[in-house]
A and B are shown apart, each in its own frame.
Chain A
Amino acid sequence: MSYQEEFRNALSIESLKQDLLRTAYDNEGTIFNRLDPRVLLTWYAAFLVIPWLFYDMRILGGLLTFVSVLAVVSRVSKYLIALLAFGVITNVLLYAFVTVLMGGSFVQSAMALVPYTTKLTIISVTSIAVFSGMSPKNISRAFMSIGIPRQFTFAISYGYRMLPVLIEEYHETVNVYRLRSRAPESPGRFKWRYYVYLIRLSIRAFYPMIFDVAKRSRVTVEALETRGFSHSLENDKSRELQLGDLRVGQFDVLFMGGSLIVIVGIILPFV
């Protein structure tokens, strides 16, 4: 493979883009999206608490396995998971290393950190799975149903609308920079010069993108006005319509019941 080809494959923005889009948008039919968003929010709240109640690594391991299975089922991005794993592992290693510098034992301090880190990981995996498995509409409705103002819930769904546009825009700007810049003549050992060059461009490309977003949003704000957005803020009827078709169904009950059984099954043998 030539020098150029290797770069392209290693840093394929295209594949990263596809993967992120799939995580965020391909949630039709995932378990989490079929649930009533209020039920899911309750379930999620429970999972924010449960890990803190136990110290037994067998229980924590079981819980982690359970949420990981759910994450796999709701098609979470492999890049996000890799990023999370990287963060968790380096975190533990770093603390352990620092302990060594202070005169402690590497293994002991790492072991001491494991339960705490596992708890955080359980919560992180759950969050990723829940929010990437839910459609933007359901996320907004979930928040709206617990009384969060429409301005905020709208921002979430608008974010979903704009995210791919921004990614596209950013990619475009990076390309514009590339066509006008000079790549390093020789890439250096491990092509480090080339990567430094690309990172530099990637950072520079943010400013034009932000400028462009500001320009776009002028029209968006006008359009919101013409489509009755501000009208809906004081209109109870509108709120009712947005939340009206939320129903707790059989599937919700089954899911909650099933989760309860699994969790009890994980905990009971060890207490």
Chain B
Amino acid sequence: MANTAIDVSDVTFRYPGVDDPILENADLRIERGEFIAILGGNGSGKTTLCKTFNGLVPNFFEGDFDGRVRVAGQNTRDASVADLSRDVGYVFQEFENQLVTPTVYDEMTFGPVNYGQDDYRERALNTLSQLDIETVDGRFIWELSGGQQHLVALGAALTMDPDILVVDEPAAQLDPVRAHKTYERLQTLNENGITIVTIEHHTEFIAEYCDTVALVADGTVKWKRPTHEGLNRIEELREHRIQPPQVTQVARKIEKGGSLPTTYADAINRYRSFEHETGQIDDHEIAREQSRDEPIISFRHVDHGYTTLRDGDVQVLEDFSLDLFPDERIALVGANGAGKSTLLRLITGIEKPNAGRITINETDTEDVLPEKLAADITYVDQNPEDMFIQDSVRGDISYYLRERDAADVEERVDEVIEFLDLEQLQDRDGRLLSVGEQRRASLGIGLATDPSIVLFDEPTGSLDLASRREVEQTINRAENRVETVIIATHDLELVAEWATRVIVLNDGAVETDGTLRDVFPNLDLLERCNLRAPQVVRLSDDLDISPPAMTVSELADRLSRRSPELKGVN
């Protein structure tokens, strides 16, 4: 048992006041030095499972607990959370709420000081330099970006010198390049001997970085396998709302059976020998014929920024000009902090430009109140829960109409609810729904106003496959009712399936602006903007497939068409 870091056996757990157990007969063994991913859909019980590792379940959440968890040879029932936490570091998914002190340095020393460790200063400084964030040690937590806050939360866990580190969805809010950096960092820690457990549903990260993967569904651990083997079980993953890596999906379509590639490197090796064939450009990536006469939204020489405590005024946009036309599907893409959200907020009129003009349907946003603009524009927030201000979804949807004393409120609300399949949710409090449901409901709030423009800020963040589909469908439905949809995102897979126009923002300036076909093949440019094209696009590039495929089925089509020995497979 000396090599077992965590041993969960036959654990059943029920939160107090809930009928169904969240964990049911879960078994899992994690060896020392492993880098394991806990995979599962939203609500599968994966987070609860990981909270048994440091004793939060059952010592903190006092529900019905059966079974046994041993961590480093200790039964978690007999130890306190505080004691177990010396061995098990935990970074929460809502990491910003786990930071409890005002400054970075205080946060780093908080744990060691609580445990009375004399060398708390060295521990803090070492960790800061290990994570390359020495320069922020005196900063206030609230001044930091989300990515930096995540590093601080990670660092605070590391100052305790844990043997085991649990990280819940480390990449959820990061742009692709930063997300990979985070995983590389975890890999380095793992090489230094720390057992790493990540909760993740992005299988691409799992394929690249993890040794093993455990599938959690319906409160139990279905299996634990080496990553390659686990990710090959495509049907099973899909059944549990998990999206396999794109390269694996492509392989699944064109190969009969056998072992499918899961990492990008595997896929290249496998398909390098295949022959070339020029494909056809089809459907949505061709820019729609536009009557390019009048833009619906127009930015003219806009300057905009905000004031910070330390650095004075920070300019986000400088001399920024852009025209957006009706009937476009516009994707605003860019890294964290590139200015995407600022742009959307300027369109809503909630923020006004410091200089320059923004016009919506020829109305200058300076001349009207945001309340007025809201009749035409709906903004779906990055954190959908911020949009719920009433105690039922129905109340939220009707709020706007009631405010404006609209006639037939109930009918219109009913219509929106039916349109978005919200019947089940209409009487529930929006803030207590799952994230996927919240996004759907928040769109309902927007559509009730009969807008002509809908703005989505990061609509697919931290969603599993099924919830993503739900959001994508919602976006497609919305399109039938409104003129223009704008999505700000760094999820380029979503963009590849949907957009007709892609605007890449970098440091508050338009780096490039064009159709999907113009922008996505330019891999260097995307990389420079901290973005990464979907695997199929990169694979097309490496295999010299031109024009590159944008979606899984497109690439599968091309590959199967051009390789003689695979003919007829499809």
Contact = CB atoms under 8 A, between A and B. Distances in A.
Nearest to A18: B307
Interface stretch (A33-41, A52-60, A94-102, A218-226): A218-226
Greatest chain B CB density within 10 A among A18, A208, A212, A230 is at: A208
B307 A226 contact: no
Contact of A231 (B82, B118, B138, B142): B82
A212 B431 contact: yes
Nearest to B378: A179
B142 A219 contact: no
B424 interface: no
Interface stretch (B68-76, B207-215, B397-405): B397-405
A25 B118 contact: no
Contacts of B100: 154, 158, 161, 220, 223-224, 227, 229
A178 interface: yes
B321 to A, nearest CB: 23
Contacts, number: 165
A228 B348 CA distance: 44
Contacts of B120: 241
A120 B372 CA distance: 47
Interface in B329-388: 348, 350, 352, 366-372, 374, 379, 381, 385-388
Nearest to A245: B121
Interface stretch (B21-29, B91-99, B500-508, B554-562): B91-99
A225 B81 contact: yes
A181 to B, nearest CB: 5
Q: How large is the interface on A (under 10, 10 to 19, 20 to 34, 35 or more residues)?
A: 35 or more
B94 A216 contact: yes
A42 interface: no
Greatest chain B CB density within 10 A among A22, A157, A226, A232 is at: A226
Nearest to A8: B352
B85 A227 contact: yes
A44 interface: no
A208 B85 contact: no
A183 B371 contact: yes
B97 A219 contact: yes
B56 A242 contact: no
Contact of B371 (A178, A219, A240): A178
A180 B403 contact: yes
B110 A227 contact: yes
B320 to A, nearest CB: 20
B115 A165 contact: no
B223 interface: no
Interface in A138-190: 154, 157-158, 160-161, 164-165, 168, 172-173, 175-183
Interface in A195-228: 204-205, 207-208, 211-212, 215-217, 219-220, 222-228
Given A5-B366, A14-B307, A161-B102, 12 more contacts: A137-B106, A154-B100, A157-B101, A173-B389, A178-B369, A179-B348, A182-B403, A212-B385, A222-B60, A224-B100, A226-B56, A228-B86
The 4 closest A-B pairs by CB, nearest first: A237-B116, A228-B114, A223-B98, A232-B114
